[in-house]
């Protein structure tokens, strides 16, 4: 069975789980899908190469899935594979609203795409309403194929446009709280990957969803699909993934954290010999190693998972983080998860005291130009006073619990944490950079730590304010 078939099976199984059992949807309804194909290439040997989702959206199976589940995507293939994510997002939103009364659920591969789309919507809703009213497409859509395909679907609908306009005018005063529930009255849930590096977006998604269920999607990768969320009713924070043993041959490499203070280690974990699926233990952390039926032999996935329990004999995995340490200067070692927790603490101060909101973040371990220290870049929405931002900076510095970091800060072998506030739109520029270099928007994940010189140039060139922590007294 090919990877595509297995993805189809997984998606079909999942939509049965969601639609028939937990959140029933109406047959013949529509799906608002923020999905984007990237380019496919041919190898010298004639094989087609691309990301899993790109293959999938271009495949017959994508059509078959819609026919079998009797739920149809709002956008035509010309929008999905348009190649310009800004134009595709506009058309996804326009068509999603055009069919708003029929939309049964809203989805994307990773939660980032939904949040990104609605942030865009906040700025373009008037234009979308004009297009719905007149059955037109504004000049921003320059792709002839996309224009033709969308214009073939829509026709003037002044009453719908006025209804949406009225809702948006009210929603704008509420900072778009409950946007999804209000504009898509038939939607039953929002479905996307919300765990791991997507967790920071779940609060914003919840804000937009306005009480609508957030269903955290399954655990997979381009190499192989891995596990299904068999408890779709659980909030994203509590979701685990039941490994589907037929997706690949899975092995689990035990990881131990005993070496946290070992300065020579470049990685946080001690590894043990991989064990088969039947030998995993509850509470133990592992790295997944998989062998696919289509060629990849013993591929290390680079993810850390914890066995949370079993579902009918198969392990249920808690996604912990990407394997590599991301912030390390000295004896300090902080993972993506550690950074996420620290940023969460800082952003709580930003929201509660500063009345502003964190849009996105990344970090960098600065070791070249100044005293070695961590830099955290924040894009924020709203105006927060400098005093509050300074407090956020201190809060983050003191929230890193890693012993190596705390000791290094106390002995001043690592300098004060620096918070850089960047201009609105900076993370969009970063996204553009990755898309321009061939990444697929559907699978894009903001790097939580970067040493990429181009990205650092964008970040440093967009920094408007800098704060140095005084949490350790200097």
Q: Which is nearer to ligand AMP, 222 or 284 (CB)?
A: 222
According to CB under 6 A, which one of 221, 330, 351, 399 is a site residue for ligand AMP?
221
14 binds ligand AMP (CB under 6 A): no
Segment near ligand AMP (CB under 6 A); pick from 202-210, 216-224, 276-284, 335-343: 216-224
What would the two tokens of residue 320 be? 């912990």
Segment near ligand AMP (CB under 6 A); pick from 89-97, 134-142, 215-223, 371-379: 215-223
Instruction: Determine contact, residues 363/339, Cβ cutoff 8 Å.
Output: yes
According to CB under 6 A, which one of 11, 69, 108, 195 is a site residue for ligand AMP?
195
Q: Please state the closest distance from residue 346 (CB atom) to ligand AMP, in A.
A: 22
**Of 308-347, which residues contact ligand AMP (CB under 6 A)?**
319, 322
Site string for ligand AMP, 95-134 (x = CB under 6 A): ----------------------------------------
219 binds ligand AMP (CB under 6 A): yes
DSSP conformation letters of 72-140 = EESS-HHHHT-S-HHHHHHHHHHHHHHTGGGEEEEEEEEHHHHHHHHHHHHHHHHHHHHHHHHT---TT
Q: Which is nearer to ligand AMP, 56 or 467 (CB)?
A: 56
Segment near ligand AMP (CB under 6 A); pick from 88-96, 188-196, 258-266, 379-387: 188-196
What would the two tokens of residue 212 be? 């609508």
According to CB under 6 A, which one of 136, 157, 222, 470 is a site residue for ligand AMP?
222
According to CB under 6 A, which one of 15, 38, 202, 443 is a site residue for ligand AMP?
443
Q: Which is nearer to ligand AMP, 48 or 142 (CB)?
A: 48
- In this structure, the number of other CB atoms found within 10 A of the CB of residue 67 comes to 9
What would the two tokens of residue 315 be? 């392990």
Q: Residue 26: enclosing H or E segment and its boundaries?
A: none
DSSP conformation letters of 261-313 = T-TT-SSS-EE---EEGGG--TT-EEEEEEE-TTS--SEEEEEEEEEEEEETT
Q: CB under 8 Å, gap of 24 or more: what pairs does 56-64 form?
A: 56/4, 56/7, 56/8, 57/81, 57/442, 59/4, 61/4, 61/5, 61/7, 61/8, 64/8
Site of interaction with ligand AMP (CB under 6 A):
52, 193, 195-196, 218-222, 301, 303, 319, 322, 443
């Amino acid at each position: 069975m090919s990877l595509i078939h297995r993805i189809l099976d997984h998606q079909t199984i999942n939509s049965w789980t969601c639609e028939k059992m937990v959140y029933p949807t109406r047959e013949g309804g529509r799906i608002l899908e923020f999905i984007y194909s990237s380019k496919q290439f041919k190898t010298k040997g004639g094989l087609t190469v691309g990301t899993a989702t790109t293959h999938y959206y271009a495949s017959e199976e994508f059509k078959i899935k819609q026919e079998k589940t009797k739920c149809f995507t709002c956008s035509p293939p010309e929008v999905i594979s348009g190649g310009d994510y800004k134009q595709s997002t506009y058309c996804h939103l326009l068509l999603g609203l055009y069919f708003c009364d029929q939309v049964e659920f809203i989805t994307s591969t990773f939660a980032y795409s939904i949040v990104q789309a609605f942030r865009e919507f906040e700025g373009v809703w008037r234009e979308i309403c004009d297009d719905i009213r007149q059955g037109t497409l504004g000049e921003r859509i320059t792709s002839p194929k996309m224009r033709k395909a969308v214009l073939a679907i829509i026709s003037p609908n002044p009453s719908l446009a006025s209804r949406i306009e009225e809702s948006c005018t009210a929603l704008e005063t509420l900072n778009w709280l409950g946007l999804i529930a209000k504009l898509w009255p038939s939607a039953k849930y929002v479905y996307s990957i919300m765990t791991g590096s997507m967790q920071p977006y779940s609060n914003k998604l919840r804000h937009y969803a306005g009480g609508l269920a957030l269903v955290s999607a399954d655990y997979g990768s381009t190499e192989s699909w891995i596990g299904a969320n068999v408890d779709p009713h659980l909030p994203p924070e509590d979701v685990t993934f039941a490994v589907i043993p037929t997706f690949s041959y899975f092995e689990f490499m035990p990881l131990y954290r005993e070496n946290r203070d070992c300065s020579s280690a470049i990685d946080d974990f001690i590894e043990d010999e991989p064990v088969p699926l039947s030998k995993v233990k509850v509470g133990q952390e592992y790295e997944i190693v998989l062998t696919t039926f289509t060629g990849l032999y013993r591929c290390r996935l680079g993810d850390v998972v914890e066995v949370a329990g079993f579902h009918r004999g198969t392990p249920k995995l808690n996604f912990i983080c990407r394997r590599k340490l991301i912030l390390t200067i000295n004896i300090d070692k902080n993972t993506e998860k550690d950074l996420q927790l620290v940023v969460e603490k800082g952003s709580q101060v930003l929201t509660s005291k500063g009345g502003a909101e964190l849009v996105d973040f990344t970090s960098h371990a600065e070791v070249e130009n100044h005293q070695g220290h961590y830099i955290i870049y924040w894009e924020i929405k709203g105006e927060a006073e400098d005093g509050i931002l300074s407090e956020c900076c201190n809060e983050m510095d003191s929230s890193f619990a890693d012993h190596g970091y705390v000791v290094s800060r106390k002995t001043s072998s690592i300098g004060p944490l620096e918070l850089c506030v960047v201009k609105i739109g900076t993370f969009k520029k970063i996204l553009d950079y990755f898309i321009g270099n061939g990444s697929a928007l559907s699978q894009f994940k903001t790097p939580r730590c970067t040493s990429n010189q181009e990205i650092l140039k964008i970040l440093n060139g967009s920094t408007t304010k800098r704060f140095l922590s005084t949490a350790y007294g200097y």
